[in-house]
Structure 1
Amino acid sequence: MIRNLYQIDKHHISKVEYDNTPDDLDENVDHWLEIKVDDRQEIVPILEEHDFDELILKDFVKPSKLHNLRLSSEAMVLNLPISNSENIYVKETLTLMIRPGLLVTIVHQSNQIFTGLINSLNNNPFDLNIDLNYLVYFMVSYVLKKTANHIQKARNEVDDLSKKLDEAPEELDISDIIDVKDNVHNLSNIVEDQYIALQAIPKLRWADGVVRIDDEIGRTIKNYGFILDLTSRLEENIKGVQSHYQLLLQERSNKKLNTLTIIQAIFVPLTLLTGIYGMNFVNMPELNMVNGYFVFLIVIVIIAITELWVFWRRGWFD
């Protein structure tokens, strides 16, 4: 488990020492407690030190798939679906808890969702007034930025697949398309779940008015429709690639069937002739011809060549 405590001092965020004791926190300064852990059960003692109620604690330890957001008199808990850092098509959960003076985030230990976030805030050229509300807003924006990058990566995979289909379709297998299609579908689900989870944020207000979520987040989420459109277009594109590939497979099958049809058409009259002369009638004048066998061979060759010429003229070999 990795624990980092940051102090939010208006225009700067700095890391401070932390021994899990909430009494050591300066009540006049906002703090962000970042926790990275594989087994969330390990964080129970830490959260109990901060006097979280049972429902809030439950959402931290075992995020609910049905309740992305929980609001109590003392805190808000948001379970936000995000992508795994190593495989963007695998869904994980980022849990954010915000209450007066403290923001707690919990994510999988290997996830790098907030890498570079503090530097971006501290090095901004606008001398912004950083508080918990703005930090939550910045985190949401950061997640959306990461999601947009993931969509771009998925788009590149679809474009590469489409290019390969145009240039070297024989090197492509249907399993390659299905894998990319599944990946795009999984990413689309993550994006949709993010949108659903974020929808409630702009409406949140605490009864005492101490903690609120800035309207900037609401404006950011309204622009989320653009990301949803991107994922929808991605799914349509990969469906188009799959349809194109299936048409190519069908065309290959049709060419094979066309070849078999031509061969069958050539042998139909030849089979008829051999069937006729294979009958055991007594009076068959051609059987007494000295060169009858060779004449018969010449006839069937002429018939076969004539059929091939007719098929070629009619475009059967195109």
Structure 2
Amino acid sequence: MPALYRLTDRLEALDPEQGTDPAQPVIEVLRTDELDSIGIEDIDALESLRSLASSQSSYVDAFPDCMIGSLSIPNKNDLLDEPSCFGFYLDQMRLIFVDDGNICESILNSIAKARPACNLTVARVLYEFLKFTVKDDTLFLADVEDKLGDTEENILDRKRHVTNHHMLQIRRKILKLDNYYQQLSDMSSIMSEDEHHMLAKEERRLFHLFSQQADRLMQRAQSLKDYSLQLRELYQMQIDTQQNEIMRWFTVITTIFVPLTLITSWYGMNFQNMPELASPYAYPIIIVVCVALIVVELGFFKKKKWL
């Protein structure tokens, strides 16, 4: 069932069965299989809307008498999950969302309850819609930065749950955010330029403001991307340090046993005329020499801070 709204001094929900004045601006939410009923005569525009409705990117096409685009909003609870995707159609009197889910209707209902500024137009509703999609993103990015800080502490503390897979997931999530804000910035820039002069001057100004907001969010996401690269380098440094420590221990242990191995090999030859073999004190003397060698070596390694 489609959702229907009209513009008076505010955004007002209507019964889809209720008739509307053709001269009155309306906002609709339709499903993909209802596209043929919206009465778009431009076949290219209709096909563009149909293809963009399921596009996993944010994009807009500007036609002489309308704008057709798509929005792909990432799931903030799980950035690696599938995004919410839908298309939109904007002309002088209509704003139509093509959404097979319920996100568009939910956002429009929130806008209606918020009662935005007077003199609403369909383009102004689209601006409010876009603004609503990023309204908490500054706090969200701050939370992402805090989580990166926690990851940095875990890396320095050598927590076991920080793995290559974990670092790769962080990288992928931030890349998705960066791509999302960059697409929003490009899309709103195209709308603010309005090459076909479909929008009013104030509406172009609003989309320009949104473009600047998207730019700021993109810059923040890019700084987080740089931070994630630094974390990746720090993680690799910690791995290299651990490997060096393991190799150092192997080297120390090997060095300790090299002279002992030489002594045992030397006296393991069992030549007939080796004088030490006949001495009753030879065995305890060799034990004392081996222990003394170990003590000297341990003292040397500790002095060199290898232990």
Give the TM-score normalised by the residue count of structure 1.
Answer: 0.83
- Which residue of structure 1 lines up, in the alignment, with residue 181 of structure 2? 191
> 1: CA distance between counterparts of 2:15 and 2:70?
27
Query: Structure 2 counterpart of 1:44, which letter?
Result: L
Which whole-Å CA distance do the structure 2 matches of 1:87 and 1:43 have between them?
Answer: 30
Asked whether 1:234 is paired with 2:228, we answer: no
- Give the counterpart letter for 1:282 in structure 2: Q
Identify the residue that residue 44 of structure 1 maps to in structure 2.
35
Is 1:82 the counterpart of 2:64 in the alignment?
no
* DSSP 3-state at the match of 1:308: helix
TM-superposed CA distance for 1:100, in Å, is: 2.0
How far does residue 164 in structure 1 lie from its aligned partner after superposition? Answer: 3.2
Residue 14 of structure 1 is aligned with which of 12, 15, 37?
12
TM-score by length of 2: 0.86
Summarize deviations over 1:260-293 as a string: whole Å, max 9, x none.
1111111111111122222243332111111211
State the partner residue of 2:260: 270
2:239 — aligned with what? Answer: 249
Distance 1:91 1:224, change over 3 A: same
Amino acid aligned to 1:116: S
Other-structure match for 2:94: 102
Identity of aligned residues (%): 16
Separation in 2 of the partners of 1:241 and 1:281? 62
Give 1:234 deviation, angstroms. Answer: 0.9
| Deviation larger for 269-278 or 77-86 | 77-86
Letter in 1 for 2:15: E
The match for 1:111 is 103
SS in structure 1 opposite 2:103? coil
1:68 counterpart (42, 55, 59): 59
Cα pair distance change 1:171/1:98, threshold 3 Å: closer
1:219 corresponds, among 206, 209, 216, to 209
How far the C-alpha of 1:8 sits from its partner, in A, is 0.5
* Separation (CA, whole Å) in 2 of partners of 1:268 and 1:88: 55
Instruction: Specify every segment of 5 or more residues in structure 2 that has no aligned partner in the other structure, as ranges.
Output: none
Change (3 A) 1:118 1:192: same
Instruction: From the superposition, tell whether residues 211 and 96 of structure 1 become closer, same or farther in structure 2 (CA, over 3 Å).
Output: farther
Deviations 1:16-71 (A, max 9, x none): 1224x9xx431232111123x4xx3x123333xx2342222212222167993223
For 2:46, which of 57, 61, 67 is the aligned residue?
A: 57
C-alpha offsets along residues 173-214 of structure 1, whole Å, 9 cap, x if unaligned?
A: 33222222211122222222222222211111546x576742
Which stretches in structure 1 are left out of the alignment for 5+ residues?
A: none
Structure 1 vs Structure 2 CA RMSD: 2.7
Provide the rounded CA distance (Å) in 2 between the counterparts of 1:28 and 1:130.
15
Alpha-carbon displacement from aligned partner over 1:112-160 (angstroms, at most 9, x marks no partner): 672622222x1x4xx5221123212222222332544543443343233
Distance in 1 separating the partners of 2:57 and 2:300: 68
Q: 1:53 to 1:67 in 2, by over 3 A?
A: farther
* Amino acid across the alignment from 1:250: D
Q: In structure 2, what is the Cα distance between the partners aligned to 1:293 and 1:287? A: 8
Give the distance between the partners of 1:179 and 1:151, measured in 2 at CA: 16
Q: 1:54-111: CA deviations, max 9, x gaps? A: 2222122221679932233332112233224664444343322111211111234043
* Matched AA of 1:57: L
Quick one: structure 1 residues 280 and 87, their matched pair in 2 at CA, closer, same or farther if it must change by over 3 Å?
Answer: closer
The whole-number CA distance in structure 2 between the counterparts of 1:66 and 1:88 is 14
2:21 to 26, 43, 48: 26
Q: Distance between the aligned counterparts of 2:41 and 2:76, measured in 1? A: 29
For the residue of structure 2 that corresponds to 1:161, the secondary structure is helix
Read off the aligned partner of 2:44 and give its amino acid letter. L
